[in-house]
Structure 1
Amino acid sequence: MTIDAKTPDEYISKLPEERKAAVSKLRETVRNNLPKGFEECISYKMIGYVVPHSLYPGGYHCDPKLPLPFINIAAQKHFVALYHSGIYADKALLDWFVEEYPKYVKTKLDMGKSCIRFKKMDAIPYDLIKELCQKMSPEAWIQLYEKNVKR
């Protein structure tokens, strides 16, 4: 599901009704718990949270005109996804998340490298996402990105 939107509010307004509440709550959870410095925008046609050029002038190595991505939220055809670049780049953070997940959700974790998929809208672990968001500052993400991702 690709949604053409210029703002996160517009993105949510274009979602199917059955996804709006879950994506809105996920958005609020991320917004209210990310450390200062990240900015909300539309990034890769998803709701994105990025390190702006004002903090990291070099931008994203794949396209330096873009700010450094960190988290994205997307409504896909069969699930809602949270993409967290820190989980992809930091094995300790990934291990923590995988260990904590069953404490919040009874179903098996459905996850790719940085993509956490939620097929049941009523089973999104917002409290766990809250904790995850609080674990990395923009400065820590930049340092990790330069060490483990940027080539």
Structure 2
Amino acid sequence: MKYNATSVSEYIAQIPEDKKESVIQLRKVILDYIPKGFKEELSYGMIGYVVPHELYPDGYHCNPKLPLPFVSLAAQKNFISLYHMGLYTDSELLNWFSAEYPKHSPYKLDMGKCCVRFKKPEAIPFELIQQLIQKISPEEYIEIYKRMIKKT
């Protein structure tokens, strides 16, 4: 789903009612537990949490004018998605998350490379997301990111 928004609050205002409360609650978990240094902004048409240029002046390698993306939250047509680049770049974190997910949800993990899809908003494992969000600081993510860029 594409939203015509220029701010996070505009984005949230446009979310369909069946997903809005879950996105608001997921956003609150992220804001409450994300390590200091990440910045919330509208990023790639979603609610994004980025490493700002003040912490990583090089920015995102695909477009250095943009800050380094870390986590994004989106309300799609058929699900709510949480994109966590740490899951894509850190195999230990991915293994931990994959092992923990069944302990927090009765549903099978529906995931792409870094995208976790929640088809049932009422079944989002908020406690697990809280734990996930705390696991990587901006400084740690920058180091992981730099290692990944060198490999490519």
TM-score range, shorter chain: over 0.9
For structure 1, the 5+ residue unaligned runs are none
- Residue 149 of structure 1 and its aligned partner are, at CA, apart by 3.8
Alignment of 1:24-43 (within 5 A): 24-43=24-43
Is residue 2:70 matched to residue 1:60?
Answer: no
- Residue 8 of structure 1 and its aligned partner are, at CA, apart by 1.1
- The TM-score, its normalising length taken from structure 1, stands at 0.98
Alignment of 1:1-150 (within 5 A): 1-149=1-149
Alpha carbons of structure 1 residues 149 and 112: separation in structure 2 relative to 1, 3 Å: farther
* CA-atom RMSD in angstroms: 0.8
Counterpart Cα distance in 2 of 1:28 and 1:10: 16
Counterpart Cα distance in 2 of 1:25 and 1:72: 14
Deviations 1:3-26 (A, max 9, x none): 121111110101111111000001
Counterpart Cα distance in 2 of 1:70 and 1:78: 23
Counterpart Cα distance in 2 of 1:149 and 1:101: 28
Counterpart Cα distance in 1 of 2:129 and 2:118: 12
Q: Secondary structure at the match of 1:3?
A: coil
Deviations 1:57-104 (A, max 9, x none): 000000000000000000111000000000000000000000000000
Counterpart Cα distance in 2 of 1:32 and 1:43: 19
Alpha carbons of structure 1 residues 19 and 111: separation in structure 2 relative to 1, 3 Å: same
Cα pair 1:83 1:115 within 8 Å, conserved: yes
Q: How many residues align?
A: 151
Counterpart Cα distance in 1 of 2:22 and 2:149: 30
Cα pair 1:89 1:149 within 8 Å, conserved: no
Counterpart Cα distance in 1 of 2:54 and 2:120: 37
Alpha carbons of structure 1 residues 149 and 114: separation in structure 2 relative to 1, 3 Å: farther
Q: Secondary structure at the match of 2:110?
A: coil
After TM superposition, which residue ranges in structure 1, 4 or more long, deviate above 3 angstroms?
Answer: none
Counterpart Cα distance in 2 of 1:3 and 1:84: 20
Identity within the alignment, %: 56
2:33 partner amino acid = N
